[in-house]
Structure 1
Amino acid sequence: MQPLTALPVRLHWLPYAERLEARPVESIDLAVIHCTELPDLATAREYGERVLYPASGTGNSGHFYIDRDGRIEQYVPPGRIAHHVRGYNARSVGIELVNRGRWPHWLDSRHQTMDEPYPDAQIDALVRLLRALGGALPALRWIAGHEDLDREDVPASDDPAVRVRRKRDPGPHFPWPRVLAQCGLERLPAP
């Protein structure tokens, strides 16, 4: 992969990044957009460092994180498979936007509204990152939201008889038309 030299990206590898499965960057054809559903970048980092898979010593994380002010941090090299979306990890790069989402009541049926907008600085940084990745990853063609790919409904935490969407990010405030018009990628058709 060509380095993202024209883009200010802070390399901040997760402690287990080198334990994640390696892959050829030529296999990456999809960028998946997430929101952290956490209050800030520091909390997202804390969650990313948690080891959830003892056999491999790894956890859940995206490759890139974009803070509200547009600052970009890279937690995992694209040549490693991060755990960020069921069934699509091997072919995708995960991009996390710092945003509260439904935090801290992710699966509570009474708290499913995602009301935090995405600041212009954050979306501008996302578009710059996507364009840079398009130049660095030869097969990158598609973009999708986490909610497009993980459509499972699960029991609500407050009432197991009620079902809620497991993943709703990046959510209703994500400016799809603006991003698609500028990023050079196509929205992945619905699975």
Structure 2
Amino acid sequence: MNPLHLLSTFLCFTIIFLLSCNAPTFRIFEKPVIFNEERNRLSVEYLQKRHGIETEQSSIEPRMIVVHWTEIPTLEDTWDFFNSPHLDARPDILAASALNVSAHFLVDRDGTIFRLLPDTTFARHTIGLNYMAIGIENIGGSDAPLTRAQLLANEQLVRYLYKRHPIEWVIGHHEYYVFRDSELWMETDPDYLTYKVDPGDRFMKRLRSRLEDLKPRHLP
């Protein structure tokens, strides 16, 4: 074989190998929170009382993804907080329901993705929109900006969820207010709102720029 051909073949395989090494590997690790009879009952009650949906099932049909940050600095502390079915803190939202807050996915600082709940199981994470939204929580907060590894992981996770569900909207938690006057908003108390800043415009702009081919919506 021609030495030049051998060299070019070697270089091609080397480039492909290096590119594959740099590409983030997509994997979801299972780290389920407790979903027992109490959490199921509280979830159904929330759907009925807060969203006004008559149902006996604690399930959703996902059409939206909401991206959050935790403000809790570590993965284990966040998981511990979400794990209990019953809300033992947050007096600002405890009056609305005893159901604990949670999310479907949790992304660590290094981009590792953990599944806390199945995609179609109800989780309390976004007022007015829980009934149709998958929640992605990222370890970080105002004093710990989300990392590039988390950005790439969120992109991969959104793409994965787009293949599984008829997702139309990808929003940041801080953007949920704009849905208040839309037909998508389902909250029985018009005064039940909490102010949110996560994960911020900068992160969502960067995420959406990587998802342009999916054309995700962020307005009603």
Please tell me whether residue 70 in structure 1 is matched to residue 111 in structure 2. Answer: yes
Residues 177 and 167 of structure 1: CA distance in aligned 2, closer, same or farther (over 3 Å): closer
Per-residue CA distance 1:58-94 (angstroms, 9 max, x = gap): 4210100000101000101111110001110011000
Q: Within 2, Cα distance between the matches of 1:42 and 1:182?
A: 29
The SS at the match of 2:150 is helix
What whole-Å deviation, never above 9, does each CA across 1:21-57 have from its counterpart, x for those lacking one?
Answer: 5335xx211100000011111111111013128xx98
Q: How does 1:5-84 map onto structure 2 within 5 Å? A: 7-16=26-35, 19=40, 20=43, 21-23=57-59, 27-50=61-84, 51-52=86-87, 58-84=99-125
Pair 1:148-2:175 in alignment: yes
Larger Rg over CA atoms: 2
Contact 1:150 1:167 in 2 (8 A): no
Larger strand fraction of residues: 1
Q: Which has the higher helix share?
A: 2
Residue number in structure 2 paired with 1:160: none
What is the identity, as a one-letter code, of the residue corresponding to 2:196? K
* 1:123 corresponding residue in structure 2: 151
Superposition CA RMSD, Å: 2.4
Unmatched runs of 5 consecutive residues or more in structure 2:
1-24, 44-56, 88-93, 179-193
The alpha carbon displacement at 1:182 in A equals 2.0
The two structures have a TM-score, normalised by structure 1, of 0.71
CA distance in 2, matches of 1:85, 1:148: 10
In the alignment, structure 1 residue 186 sits paired with structure 2 residue 216: yes
Superimposed CA distance per residue, residues 94-138 of structure 1 (whole angstroms, 9 cap, x where no aligned partner): 000100x2xxxxxxxxxxxx243221111111100000110111x
Consecutive unaligned residues in structure 1, runs of 5 or more: 1-5, 102-113, 152-164
SS of aligned partner of 1:42? helix
Query: For 1:11 and 1:94, how far apart are their aligned partners in 2?
Result: 15
TM-score (norm: length of structure 2): 0.62
Tell me the percent identity. Answer: 29
* Cα separation, 1, equivalents of 2:30 and 2:169: 24
Distance in 2 of aligned mates of 1:9 and 1:135 = 15
